[in-house]
Amino acid sequence: MKTEVVSVDPERPAAEILARAGEVLRRGGLVAFPTETVYGLGANALDGEAVQRIFTAKGRPATNPLIVHVATIEQATTVAESWPEKAQVVAARFWPGPLSLVLKKRSEVPDIVTAGGETVALRSPAHAVAQGLIRAAGVPVAAPSANLSTRISPTRAEHVLRWLDGRIDMLLDGGPTSGGLESSVIDLTVSPPRLLRPGLVSPHEIEAAIGPIAVGPKTPAANSRPGQSAVARSPGLAARHYAPTTPLECRSDSWPYVSQLCQAGLHVGWLVLKLPPFETSAGLIAVELSDDPAEYAANLYAALHRLEALALDRIVVELPPDHEAWLAVRDRLQRAATADQKIG
């Protein structure tokens, strides 16, 4: 299949382009598009065969459910079986935006979307292209991040093409995404609500709106419910989910270690908040992100894609501080770390 790449104005996308992309979705095709977090790979959420194509294109295990994207709260209520007060409060406060709500699903939502589970994750994205596409399609849009399963999420069109060129119908290129990390996912079917994936909306902001929440996945055993597998209840939590192909390690106080690796002759990529004031070793590719969490998040995946493309021996990341502002960044870094390498 040939992937059609169409440039689109990220703020004022042309109606005619959105209409064409909406038509591709309505006909059962796959369209990758920018959101304010990362690029998504969309299909009509009410068409099980179209959704199956997402799983095939990504090589995604069928046990990992998808987020359904909607334009409005009103459209969300056509996907969710019920719309509790807490959903109304957080949606009114954070939508459109980077927060996904897990709610009971309606029977019209094909099982493949929810990995056979009774619940569905819903989000209304803030990006004008994403909003315009959902409206043009006239249907809710199931969309995971537009990368191969287990690879780094895409924050630019070129990242999408790197893995998915020839596997999807269309890519709307709206330039780099602003947020850079996937949405926060909160389960509203349990009491207290549980944050399953940290993201750009912080636990404190959510608590300010709806009161106390639990943070982090439950253990698989505690998670199981009749009729719903543990896998489906705490998906996306596989230890190695956002991984570059180069071995990656996270370290606090990473410089002595990096310098040791360089002396041993390894080609190393080093991701830091701030570059040290001294000369670093030859053979080292040092990348300064930012000591501002939002700026760091916006640029992290692009930096990892860039380092990965250099086929280095190792990527070492200076782990940002253990503060709430860095919660989502630390979560993604720890999952990107090579499984058998301890985070220090």
Q: What is the contact surface with Mg ion in residues (CB under 5 A)?
A: 145
Query: Can you give the C-alpha Rg of the chain in angstroms?
Result: 20
> Residue from 75, 77, 114, 155 that binds ligand TXA (CB under 6 A)?
114
- CB-nearer residue toward ligand TXA: 188 or 271: 188
- CB-nearer residue toward ligand TXA: 21 or 102: 102
Provide φ and ψ at 263, rounded to 5°.
-65, -30
- CB-nearer residue toward ligand TXA: 186 or 273: 186
- CB-nearer residue toward ligand TXA: 17 or 328: 328
H helices present in the chain, as ranges: 15-26, 48-58, 73-76, 85-94, 128-137, 157-164, 203-210, 220-223, 230-233, 255-263, 293-309, 327-336
Q: Of residues 31-90, which lie at the interface with ligand TXA (CB under 6 A)?
A: 35, 37-38, 40, 64-67
| Least distance between Mg ion and beta carbon 238 (Å) | 11
Which contacts qualify for 74-83: CB closer than 8 Å, 24 or more apart? 75/124, 75/134, 75/140, 76/101, 76/122, 76/124, 78/106, 78/140, 79/45, 79/105, 79/106, 79/108, 79/109, 79/120, 79/122, 79/140, 80/104, 80/105, 80/106, 80/120, 80/122, 81/105, 81/106
CB atoms within 10 A of CB 139: 20
| Least distance between ligand TXA and beta carbon 7 (Å) | 19
Task: Say whether residue 117 binds ligand TXA (CB under 6 A).
Answer: yes
Task: Say whether residue 143 binds ligand TXA (CB under 6 A).
Answer: yes
Q: Of residues 237-256, which lie at the interface with ligand TXA (CB under 6 A)?
A: none
- CB-nearer residue toward ligand TXA: 155 or 246: 155
> Residue from 43, 45, 120, 231 that binds ligand TXA (CB under 6 A)?
120
Interface with ligand TXA by CB under 6 A: which residues?
Answer: 35, 37-38, 40, 64-67, 98, 100, 102, 114, 117, 119-121, 123, 125, 143-145, 182-183, 185, 196-197, 235-236
